[in-house]
Amino acid sequence: MFSGAGSGSSSASGTSAATMAATSAKTTGSFTPGPTQTIPAKYTVLLEVDKNKITGDTTVRAVGSDLGVVKYVQVTLYEQDGQTVSDKLIPNKKDNTVTLEGSTRPERVQVTVVFYSGEQYTPIDKIY
C-alpha cells in the first residue's frame, strides 16, 4: 500500500530484503488502530507497507522527492499479545526501507513521519 500526500492506496507485492537498522525496542502497546493524518500536499512523501505472509516480517519503504526534509520515519508493530517492536527509517539516497520481524498473525502497523520542521503526521495505522 502506498500512502502519502493526496494519494489513495494501492496494493503492492513483493518484499524488499534491504533493511535499515537504527533503533529497535520491545515494549507493550494497544492493538487498536488510532486515527490517521494525511501528509500535506506540499510534501511528496509516499509510504509502502508490505507484510510477508510466509515470514511475518513487515517492510516499510519511503519514496518521494521530499525525503530530504524528513528527519525520520517511526515504524511501530503491535502484536496481538501487546508486545511492540519499533524502528526508525532514516532517509538516505541508498536505502529507504526498514524491516521489522513480526509474526504471521495479524499485527497493527503504525507509521509516523517526522519532518525537520517539527511537523509530524501518522498516515498509516492499521491491521495487516
CATH number for the domain that contains residue 76: 2.60.40
Q: What does the pLDDT look like over 49-98, one tens digit per residue? A: 999 999 999 999 999 999 999 999 999 999 999 899 999 999 987 889 99
Give how many domains the chain has, as a whole number.
Answer: 1
Q: Scanning the structure block, which residue is given the C-alpha cell 525525503?
A: 67
What's the pLDDT at 26? 52
Q: Which pLDDT score, from 0 to 100, does residue 71 have?
A: 97
Distances in whole angstroms, Cα of residue 64 to Cα of each of 2, 48, 105, 117: 11, 11, 30, 17
Which runs of E-coded beta strand occur in the chain?
Answer: 2-4, 25-28, 46-51, 58-63, 70-78, 83-89, 97-100, 108-115, 120-127
For position 94, what pLDDT does the model report? 81
User: Is pLDDT above 50 for 1?
Assistant: no
Residue type, 22: A
For residues 102 and 108, give the distance between their C-alpha atoms in angstroms, rounded to a whole number.
Answer: 10
Phi-psi region of 102 (alpha: psi -120 to 50; beta: other; left: phi over 0): beta
Domain with 98, as residue range(s), is 2-127
Mean pLDDT of the 92-121 span: 94
CA 22 vs. chain centroid, Å, equals 14
| Cβ–Cβ under 8 Å, residues 89 and 19 | no
- pLDDT above 80 (res 12): no
Q: For position 28, what pLDDT does the model report?
A: 64
| Model pTM score | 0.78
